[in-house]
Amino acid sequence: MDSIIKLIEALATSAWPAIVFYIVFSYRRQVAALIESAKDRGFTIEVGGQKLSMKEVNQQQQNFIDDLQKQLNELRKTVDGLGINPEIEAIEPKVISLESVETAGLAQSNAILWVDDNPKNNSYFIELLQSRGYRVDLALSTSDGLAKLSKNNYRLILSDMGRTESGQYIENAGVNLLEEVRQKNITNPYLFYCSTQKAKKYKKRVNELGGDAITSSPTDLRAILDELAPDSTR
């Protein structure tokens, strides 16, 4: 009798995935329509401490997909002997190693400074860093970034390029901050994550001022963070 009961329980347990699959498959159009309609509603999701609309979440995911596809296409061209697109090559980051962070004496710091007047754009990376055990301090302006740098010891600094400062848009705000940081003899690794246009335009100046990497590619930024900010919780 016990064996029969156990058999029934086992069948019931194994049947649930099939039942769920049947329901999802049967109502797949309705589920897809619900997800699609949610994009236009006021639903929000918290990612990296930032509240994003469904549309913003979808856009950030699409940016990752587009960038991966672009890099895959470039890899295919290389394999086929067609060379690399100059535009992609121009924004290739100068990746620094973990040793340079240790040399700066900041390897033990679990704090990272990110200067950007629109931190929502970086929500997934912020959450990634937080999940790895890092505290991410956000600064919306150059002055705010400098104030935080004067009070905290950071493992590294990330910045956008163009920012609205005191109501006025400054295209090279990120470079201005880098220049002030280096003048104060702050040697923290300094990374730029900005648009393709600005990455190409300011790459030379960033290198001259001692910046460590500049890229518009989320894939490249992920690779840099994997190197400089590995999981500290393990």
Quick one: pLDDT at residue 81? Answer: 64
Tell me the pLDDT tens digit for each residue of 126-146.
988 998 999 999 999 999 999
Residue 119, C-beta contacts closer than 8 angstroms, at least 6 positions apart: 50, 126, 138, 140
Distance from C-alpha of 212 to C-alpha of 191, rounded to nearest angstrom: 6
Tell me the pLDDT tens digit for each residue of 212-231.
999 988 888 888 888 889 88
Q: Tell me the mean pLDDT in the region 36-40.
A: 58
CATH architecture of 88-228: 3-Layer(aba) Sandwich (3.40)
The three-state secondary structure class of 184 is coil
pLDDT at 64 over 90: no
Q: Tell me the mean pLDDT in the region 149-167.
A: 94
pLDDT-based confidence at residue 233 (cuts at 50, 70, 90): confident
pLDDT-based confidence at residue 150 (cuts at 50, 70, 90): very high
Distance from C-alpha of 65 to C-alpha of 54, rounded to nearest angstrom: 17
pLDDT-based confidence at residue 11 (cuts at 50, 70, 90): very low
**Pairing between strand 163-165 and 156-159?**
unpaired
Please report, rounded to a whole number, the percentage of residues in the chain having pLDDT higher than 70.
Answer: 54
Cβ(53)–Cβ(42) below 8 Å: yes
Rg (CA), the chain: 23
The three-state secondary structure class of 50 is strand
- Which residue ranges make up each domain of the chain? 2-38, 88-228
